[in-house]
Chains A and B, each alone.
Chain A
């Protein structure tokens, strides 16, 4: 196998990997969204919309400490 052939296999493997990674990430986003106790990603927009110091954080950091 010469270098060009190796590059071609490598290139193909990379493309397959990237496609899998991309679709897995999309799947991950949507499944986490639906899961009970998972993130509701769309709520994260509120971090910009309700950003006064007095506003309640969307996911307060103190949640971690309470657990």
Chain B
């Protein structure tokens, strides 16, 4: 054993790379179908009246959100963790049979969870809580998967050679702890079979069905504390972890200010948890809580921009790399979209702006410039950087990557601009009234006006999906591309024409 040179072991990283790509395709495909259903409602019946139950918008919508959040993004987070974790801690998973077993078990149980989620949502089995639709047996399985992720993080940290933890590791830890806390508290639920009514009857409903332990406004508050922080600890924190590793590594540039990365980290940790109230402005939650949600959302600009600016300044003096490398392009544009959506979010959280923006498509646009432009671009860039290193081959095609970049950028721009216009139009029309307070428009008036923008959004989403398929093809072909030497993998990733 001693004589064989030790290498990083990417077995588990590769497994999660596969689910990142596969579930990304599924989630985005369903997203595109949904977008076109909104523009052309007859598509709800695309497979006929008999199957309408399975093809309608409301059945598919949670499948889209959960496939991209818990499928594509989580897999991406884990693929990168099982890659970055080893490297910055300078310890190989091959050194611990236990951690290797935990990693594989983590992946296997995750796959079981994915199957259970897809099947149950298709069958319409849901708690009806947004982004937390899974019934209690699946929740328990998810908790087990999450604990395995934790064992893997702290196990690897326990056997590390590098004393200090790199900034990305802090972000991965935060992601683990944050989601653990949020998920547990939001999913406190009681199976209905355990309930009993005043007459002493019990065993209501199906065995898998449950009701939340919270009711009414409290339920909404916990739900949006969870919902918004799922964005924090699923879409922000772990993606920042990725960019803090992959951008410096790919560009060969040290982080512009490591101290700023630490300061932004603690800033983000403290501020984010208090901002969820902005989802409930003008609702029945206490006024002070709404104000707090607004104020903390605005403060959130500082730590978010701290990270984003730190990333852009990392490229200082090396901007020619943005022109030369499509991989750097993805990350720099991702970072730019991060700045952009972390400015847009706080603006929407201001009460007077929210009066127009709430419940409109502007919110949907905001979510998607963050997820498509920041999360999606960064995860794809991470996988592009990892592919040559885990397969020991060059990226199959640089020109395909460039084409993909521009197609997807156009897709994102079409998506959010159409939703801006649609959202603000909606917000203004809903509010418009005559001098006696009678509403000027009925709901269907807004639907008619919005039709072109919904079509543009569908096209934008379709372009992004096409780009994602190009990404999947490029990664697939990389597995059989030209083999490369270790020396070619130091910084900039090797790419074929």
Residues of A at the B interface (CB closer than 8 Å) are: 7, 18, 22, 25-26, 29-30, 33, 39, 41-49, 51, 53, 55, 57-64
Q: Mark B70-92, 1 if CB is under 8 A from A, else 0.
A: 00000000000000000110101
Contact in complex: A51, B88 (CB < 8 Å): yes
Contact in complex: B164, A47 (CB < 8 Å): yes
Distance in Å from the Cβ of B255 to the closest Cβ of chain A? 5
Contact in complex: B162, A45 (CB < 8 Å): no
Q: Which residue of B lies closest to A43 (CB)?
A: B258
Contact in complex: B168, A44 (CB < 8 Å): no
In angstroms, Cα B167 to Cα A39, docked, is: 14
A44-B167, A45-B258, A59-B162 known; A51-B288 Cβ under 8 A? no
Contact in complex: B162, A41 (CB < 8 Å): no
A51-B87, A51-B249 known; A42-B92 Cβ under 8 A? no
Distance in Å from the Cβ of B265 to the closest Cβ of chain A? 11
Of B87, B92, B259, the contact of A30 (CB 8 Å cutoff): B259
Q: Is B166 an interface residue (CB 8 A)?
A: yes
Q: Other CB < 8 Å A-B pairs besides A25-B266, A46-B254, A59-B163, 10 of them?
A: A29-B263, A39-B164, A41-B258, A41-B262, A42-B258, A42-B259, A43-B258, A47-B166, A49-B249, A53-B7
A29-B263, A59-B164, A61-B161 known; A45-B254 Cβ under 8 A? yes
A48-B248, A49-B252 known; A61-B258 Cβ under 8 A? no
Query: Which among A46, A48, A49, A57 has the highest number of chain B CB atoms within 10 Å?
Result: A48
Q: Which residue of A lies closest to B292 (CB)?
A: A11
Interface of A is mostly: helix
Contact in complex: A45, B255 (CB < 8 Å): yes
Q: In the complex, what residues of B have CB within 8 A of residue A55's CB?
A: 90
Q: Is B244 an interface residue (CB 8 A)?
A: yes
Contact in complex: B161, A60 (CB < 8 Å): yes
Of A29, A45, A61, the contact of B248 (CB 8 Å cutoff): A45
Q: Which residue of B lies closest to A62 (CB)?
A: B161
Distance in Å from the Cβ of A61 to the closest Cβ of chain B? 4
Q: Which residue of A lies closest to B164 (CB)?
A: A59
In angstroms, Cα B249 to Cα A63, docked, is: 26
In angstroms, Cα B302 to Cα A18, docked, is: 14
Q: Is B245 an interface residue (CB 8 A)?
A: yes
Q: In the complex, what residues of B have CB within 8 A of residue A30's CB?
A: 259
Of A45, A51, A63, the contact of B163 (CB 8 Å cutoff): A63
Q: In the complex, what residues of B have CB within 8 A of residue A25's CB?
A: 263, 266
Contact in complex: B259, A41 (CB < 8 Å): yes
Q: How many residues of B contact A (CB 8 A)?
A: 31
Contact in complex: B162, A47 (CB < 8 Å): yes
Distance in Å from the Cβ of B490 to the closest Cβ of chain A? 9
> Top 9 closest A-B pairs, CB basis?
A45-B254, A51-B87, A47-B166, A57-B162, A59-B163, A61-B163, A45-B255, A29-B259, A41-B258
In angstroms, Cα B161 to Cα A29, docked, is: 24
Contact in complex: A61, B162 (CB < 8 Å): yes
In angstroms, Cα B252 to Cα A25, docked, is: 29
Q: Which residue of B lies closest to A64 (CB)?
A: B163
Contact in complex: B244, A48 (CB < 8 Å): yes
Distance in Å from the Cβ of B52 to the closest Cβ of chain A? 51
Q: In the complex, what residues of B have CB within 8 A of residue A43's CB?
A: 258
Contact in complex: B90, A51 (CB < 8 Å): yes
Distance in Å from the Cβ of A45 to the closest Cβ of chain B? 4
Q: Is B6 an interface residue (CB 8 A)?
A: yes
Contact in complex: B262, A29 (CB < 8 Å): yes
Contact in complex: B263, A44 (CB < 8 Å): no
In angstroms, Cα B169 to Cα A47, docked, is: 11
Q: Which residue of A lies closest to B262 (CB)?
A: A29
Q: In the complex, what residues of B have CB within 8 A of residue A53's CB?
A: 6-8, 90, 92
Q: In the complex, what residues of A have CB within 8 A of residue B259's CB?
A: 29-30, 33, 41-42
Q: Is B160 an interface residue (CB 8 A)?
A: yes
In angstroms, Cα B161 to Cα A25, docked, is: 27
Q: Is B257 an interface residue (CB 8 A)?
A: yes
In angstroms, Cα B255 to Cα A41, docked, is: 11
In angstroms, Cα B306 to Cα A25, docked, is: 15
In angstroms, Cα B434 to Cα A10, docked, is: 44
Q: In the complex, what residues of B have CB within 8 A of residue A41's CB?
A: 258-259, 262
Q: In the complex, what residues of A have CB within 8 A of residue B270's CB?
A: 18
In angstroms, Cα B7 to Cα A63, docked, is: 23
Contact in complex: A49, B90 (CB < 8 Å): no
Q: In the complex, what residues of A have CB within 8 A of residue B248's CB?
A: 45, 48-49
Q: In the complex, what residues of A have CB within 8 A of residue B267's CB?
A: 22
A29-B259, A57-B90 known; A48-B166 Cβ under 8 A? yes
Contact in complex: A49, B254 (CB < 8 Å): yes
Chain B positions 130-169 with a Cβ under 8 Å from a chain A Cβ: 160-164, 166-168
In angstroms, Cα B6 to Cα A53, docked, is: 8
Q: Mark B240-256, 1 if CB is under 8 A from A, else 0.
A: 00001100110010110
In angstroms, Cα B167 to Cα A1, docked, is: 45
